[in-house]
Amino acid sequence: MTGGIVDIAIIESWDEVMTSLRAEVGEAAFDSWLKPMTVRDMVGDQVRISVPTRFMRDWVVAHYADRISALWCRNIEIFVQSDHGPGEGDGKMARVAPATEPAPVANVATTATGEIPAADPRFVNAPAPVPAYTLSTPVITGMAQVALEISAPLDPRCTFDNFVVGKPNEFAHAAAQRVAESDTAQFNPLFLYGGVGLGKTHLMHAIAWKIRQRDPNRTVIYMSAEKFMYRFIRALREQKTVDFKDHFRNVDVLMIDDVQFIGGKDSTQEEFFHTFNALVDQGRQIVISADKSPSDLEGMEDRLKSRLNCGLVADIHATTYELRVGILQAKAEKLGIEIPPKVQEFLAHKITANVRELEGALNRVAAHAQLVGREVSLESAQDVLHDLIRANDRRVTIEEIQKKVASHFNIRTSDMHSARRARSVARPRQVAMYLAKQLTSRSLPEIGRKFGGRDHTTVMHAVKKVEELTERDAGFAEDVELLRRMLES
Ligand code: ADP
Ligand code: MG
């Protein structure tokens, strides 16, 4: 049957689907697997999409087709576009309807030892791979050489020297240093986790730099879990899984970043699990990062979770105000610019999401000052970061703050105005006053009035007290930070 013409509305909605998917799966996966797809035609209510190779078709069907179909609310059919036009009746088609059963093509089966069964028909009979998305194979000499070739490049800025330590990251930092400075495996694995932009990758690079510096003969591989997966898949396709295993199983230190990425990717998990075990058995060091704790990783097999939990799990917490100021000062010094304390305070109060954003804001402020040839000032910073701040700066009222804080600490909102002085209500009240000062433009007397007619000196005292406590008590600091974030979003 020949296909109908695809109208413009379909192409436009297809572009939207692709845009969402790009955001979902990340640039690298998108470029490798999704970009090469082309909408060809429609047959009945089915949109037909072509991909260049059979391998790709299988991969897309196994991993993305359901999602595409669901996002698009259309039935889709994915076929391999050979030079002679779409193949038909030869098993090259794969159809997917929205919200149906999982896609028909299973993940690559592996045996208990992680070997690929030789008779897997999809690989034995697969046509020669098309070079469109192959990665180059490294020239192999000594082991350290191999590690260097395989390892992703390390960012020269991401060293221990450049890492600012504060309460939220001191534990992770100490663990990372310990791993970097010892010649034998310490905790296996070291598992670093925390939200985006909080320094996981930085710490991993720092470990790698340090180890290479201490002993250039030790082989260190650092790579993202995503890259690990691509390499594994390529090895499968090129039937070079033995080489693949050798590369990984002979390293001294293996670091895999953002391991949450392989959640749900069963055959990659399987391979990773075996690589992991082989290295641990030989006493090699493994360092893993993820955005969640091992137990909370989604789509991860239980045995892998429990393995990841076996070593040392170190959590990087959200930044505190103090850490943000520390980071600003360190980065400003590196950039060789003067940032007045008022501007530091402003940035540390306003850009709270993560270190990456903070860095971005500082760079913008610095670039602007350089461009106009003037010193950095509060006005210029406010001006330059206008859009960024506005996004964070929804107007919050004192009443909202009181309500949120009261419910967070499990007290009645009326206690914000009451005369009760028990610690259990006085402390939350102080937090609310502090947040009112930080997040609204009300004056101290105005804030005092809203808290049952208290004096402005009481508010001042509350602000000082909370600042003092956040410095001493990381748990408390996190509570305050969390509240701030909830109120600002
Ligand atoms: P993650 O991997 O956790 O998403 P990154 O390690 O990429 O975060 O950190 C984001 C940016 O913030 C990087 O440029 C990194 O150098 C910087 N950064 C994060 N934490 C710190 C810190 N404690 N001191 C200095 N720079 C930091
Ligand atoms: Mg990272």
Q: Which residues surround ligand 2, an ion (CB under 5 A)?
A: 200-201
Helical H segments across 184-312, by residue range: 200-214, 225-237, 241-249, 266-281, 302-308
Residues 298, 441: one domain? Answer: no
432-449: average pLDDT = 91
Name the residue of 202, 261, 320, 334 to mutate for ligand 1: max ligand atoms within 8 A of Cβ: 202
Q: Are 470 and 435 in contact (CB under 8 A)?
A: no
CA distance 469 to 475: 10
Judge if pTM exceeds 0.75: no
Q: Is residue 19 part of a domain?
A: yes
* CA-based nearest residue to 72, from 23, 26, 9, 2: 9
pLDDT at 413 over 60: yes
**Looking at the structure, do residues 330 and 381 belong to the same domain, yes or no?**
yes
Residue closest by Cα to atom 18 of ligand 1 = 199
482 lies in some domain:
yes
Q: What is the CATH number of the domain that holds 39?
A: 3.30.300.180
Last residue in a domain, options 277, 297, 316 = 316
The finding on whether 333 has its CB within 6 A of some atom of ligand 1 is no
User: Is pLDDT at 267 greater than 50 in this prediction?
Assistant: yes
The range of the structural domain enclosing residue 377 comes to: 321-393
For ligand 1, the distance from its centroid to the CA atom of residue 425, given in whole angstroms, is: 37
The alpha carbon of 418 and the centre of ligand 1 are apart by a number of angstroms equal to 43
The per-residue DSSP string of 40-103 comes to EEEETTEEEEEES-HHHHHHHHHHTHHHHHHHHTSEEEEEEEETTEE--SSS--EEE-TT-SSP
Ligand 1 close to Cβ of residue 155 (< 6 A) = no
Please report, in angstroms and rounded to a whole number, the separation of the first and last CA atoms in the chain.
Answer: 53
Within a domain: residue 104? no
Residue among 167, 193, 198 to mutate when testing ligand 1 (max atoms within 8 A of CB): 198
Cα–Cα distance for residue pair 342/321, rounded to 1 Å: 14
Give the confidence band of 279 by pLDDT, cuts at 50, 70, 90: very high
Do 236 and 349 lie in one domain? The reply is: no
| Residue 163 Cβ contacting ligand 1 at under 6 Å | yes
Rg of the chain, C-alpha, whole Å: 27
- Nearest protein Cα to ligand 1, atom 23: 164
**Whether residue 411 sits in one domain with residue 425:** yes
194 and 304 both lie in a single domain: yes
127 inside domain: no
Cβ contacts of 276 within 8 Å, gap of 6 or more: 189, 286, 304, 307
Clarify whether residues 223 and 310 are in a common domain.
yes
Ligand nearest to the CA of 225: 2
With a 6 Å cutoff on the Cβ, whether 160 touches ligand 1 is no
Q: How far, in Å, from the CA of 453 to the mean position of ligand 1?
A: 44
Cβ of residue 324 lying under 6 Å from some atom of ligand 1: no
Tens of pLDDT, residue by residue over 354-375, are 899 999 999 999 988 888 888 8
The amino acid at residue 413 is: T
Q: Is the pLDDT of residue 85 over 70?
A: no
Counting from 1 in the atom list of ligand 1, the atom nearest the Cα of 162 is: 25
189 Cβ closer than 6 Å to some ligand 1 atom: no
From the CA of 156, the nearest ligand is 1
Ligand whose nearest atom lies closest to the CA of 226: 2
Q: Are residues 431 and 363 in the same domain?
A: no
**Separation of CA 141 and ligand 1 centre (Å):** 33
In this structure, the residue with its CA closest to atom 5 of ligand 1 is 199
Instruction: Express as a percent the part of the chain with pLDDT over 70.
Output: 83
**Has residue 366 been placed in a domain?**
yes
Whether 146 is in a domain gets the answer: no
Q: What is the pLDDT of residue 196?
A: 92
At 250 the pLDDT is 80
pLDDT-derived band at 430 (thresholds 50, 70, 90) equals very high
> Is residue 77 domain-shared with residue 192, that is, in the same domain?
no
Question: How far does the centroid of ligand 2 lie from the alpha carbon of residue 316, in Å?
Answer: 12
Residue 208, helix vs strand vs coil: helix
CATH of the domain at 305: 3.40.50.300
For residues 386 and 407, state if they share a domain.
no
Of the ligands numbered here, which is closest to the C-alpha atom of 200? 1
Higher pLDDT, residue 55 or 216: 216
Average pLDDT over residues 418-431: 94
> At which of 393, 422, 452 does a domain end?
393
Report whether residue 197 contacts ligand 1, using a CB cutoff of 6 Å.
yes
CA angle 445, 450, 453 (to 5 degrees): 70
Q: How far, in Å, from the CA of 219 to the mean position of ligand 2?
A: 21
144-199: per-residue pLDDT in tens? Answer: 555 556 788 889 999 999 999 999 999 999 999 999 999 999 899 999 999 999 99
CATH number at residue 338: 1.10.8.60
CA angle 194, 200, 205 (to 5 degrees): 170
Tell me if 112 is assigned to some domain.
Answer: no
Give the pLDDT score at 114. Answer: 30
Higher pLDDT, 133 or 270: 270
Per-residue confidence at 4, pLDDT binned at 50, 70, 90? low
Task: Name the strand (E) or helix (H) holding 220.
Answer: strand 220-224
Query: Which protein residue has the closest C-alpha to ligand 1 atom 9?
Result: 199
Residue 158 token pair: 């991401």
Last residue of a domain, one of 271, 293, 316: 316
pLDDT at 82: 65
Least confident of 119-123, 221-225, 306-310: 119-123
Task: Assign 432 a pLDDT band (cuts: 50, 70, 90).
Answer: very high
Our answer on whether the CB atom of 311 is closer than 6 Å to any ligand 1 atom is no
Whether 23 maps to a domain, the answer reads: yes
Chain segment 314-341, per-residue pLDDT in tens: 999 999 999 999 999 999 999 888 999 9
Asked if 241 and 226 sit in the same domain, the reply is yes
Q: Average pLDDT for residues 288-312, to the nearest whole number? A: 94
410: confidence class by pLDDT, cuts 50, 70, 90:
very high
Q: Is 378 in the pocket of ligand 1 (CB under 6 A)?
A: no
The verdict on 235 and 311 lying in the same domain is yes
Q: What pLDDT score does 260 carry?
A: 95
Ligand nearest to the CA of 259: 2
Tally the domains of the chain.
Answer: 4
- At 96-150, the pLDDT tens digits run 655 433 333 222 222 233 332 333 232 223 333 322 222 222 222 355 555 556 7
- Yes or no: say if 303 and 273 are a contact pair by the CB < 8 Å rule: yes
Whether 291 and 363 map to the same domain: the answer is: no
- Verify whether ligand 1 is closer than 6 Å to residue 320 (CB atom): no
* For the CA of 224, the nearest ligand: 2
pLDDT in tens, 34-43: 888 888 887 7
Nearest atom of ligand 1 to the alpha carbon of 316: 3
User: Is 172's C-beta closer than 6 angstroms to any atom of ligand 1?
Assistant: no
